[in-house]
Amino acid sequence: MQAITVRDRDAGVAGMSLTDMPYPHAAENDVIVRVYAAGFTPGELDWPATWTDRAGRDRTPSVPGHELSGVVVELGYGTTGLSVGQRVFGLADWARDGTLAEYTAVEARNLAPLPADIDHTLAAALPISGLTAWQGLFDHGRLTTGQNVLIHGAAGAVGSIAVQLAREAGARVIGTGRSSAREEALALGVDTFIDLETGKLEEAGEADLVFDVIGGDILDRSAALVRPGGTLVTIAMPPTVRPKDGRAVFFVVEPDRARLTDLAARLRDGRLKPVVGAVRPLAEAPSAFAPGKRTPGRTIIRVTDGGTGDRS
């Protein structure tokens, strides 16, 4: 089968190449998925799990990409809950070969059924951003109706989903970003937008929850904006400055089948729209993710456009 692989830790995205790889092995509780659409986060080339397995052994050449939407073609021993021919989407394991491939082996519990009327391209844009936004707002941030939430990077992949979920939950949303993100953030439903290039972050006032995706100075300054008893949640880096009277949480997104199912329901009825930018074929993944000017929104790799879930 064809896959994008990386071998050289220092090469970055330039080290990605289209390669022939063996068809994956379905371990216990796995499914093999024929990948229709895949997501990739350039930052994952810095993660240790991209280069070594859970025991710390070199696993190159490795296949990057951790989001997928596709069709189950094989079940491993003991796998329950999914069946061959079923449409699924979800989050592939961090320390195994990923989703920029025609086929991938994934633990079944990391996937959720995908309704027939949701396109694979949209579904592949949702697992990381959707689960991260949900877990950040509600599991770690404890956001409830009527509260104020400040969401950094409101027009980005995670931020845009967080804005939509927070609005649906009845929160008042203040979004931030660059000047160029203003229109997109307002269209997504932020009540107020703060332009981090020209405006003052401190004008946001206090919030029950600050959800940071940027890190650095913006994260440090955000601690002072947390209302007493509130929470600073960040997905960018462990915080060094903490709210005086509040919690500070850094977390890494976890797979969650039930939550993926909730997110799919929202996609289906139009409550949630991931911002998809470019859609490119597998062979163009290296150029699609090359540094430089990229189309705003998630770049999705469309691995296959048709087929019946056959093994080839």
Interface with ligand NAP (CB under 6 A): 41, 43, 128, 132, 153, 155-159, 177-178, 181, 196, 213-214, 218, 235-236, 252-253
Q: Is the dihedral of CA 43, 25, 281, 119 positive or negative?
A: negative
Instruction: Give 41 or 52: the residue with its C-beta nearer to ligand NAP.
Output: 41
70-89 burial: b if 16+ Cβ within 10 Å, else e: bbbbbbbeebeebeeebbbb
Rounded CA-CA distance 212/67 in Å is 22
Structure token digits, residue 99: 């989703």
Q: Which residue is nearest to ligand NAP (CB)?
A: 156
Instruction: Give 98 or 156: the residue with its C-beta nearer to ligand NAP.
Output: 156
Instruction: Give least dist CB 222 to ligand NAP, A.
Output: 12
- Cβ-contact 192, 246 below 8 angstroms: no
CA nearest to 212, candidates 180, 242, 187: 242
Instruction: Give 98 or 113: the residue with its C-beta nearer to ligand NAP.
Output: 98
Instruction: Give 132 or 222: the residue with its C-beta nearer to ligand NAP.
Output: 132
Instruction: Give least dist CB 83 to ligand NAP, A.
Output: 30
Instruction: Give least dist CB 34 to ligand NAP, A.
Output: 25
Q: Is the dihedral of CA 192, 195, 196, 202 positive or negative?
A: negative
Instruction: Give least dist CB 77 to ligand NAP, A.
Output: 30
What is the SS3 assignment for 59? coil
Instruction: Give 98 or 309: the residue with its C-beta nearer to ligand NAP.
Output: 98
Instruction: Give least dist CB 236 to ligand NAP, A.
Output: 5
Rounded CA-CA distance 88/253 in Å is 19
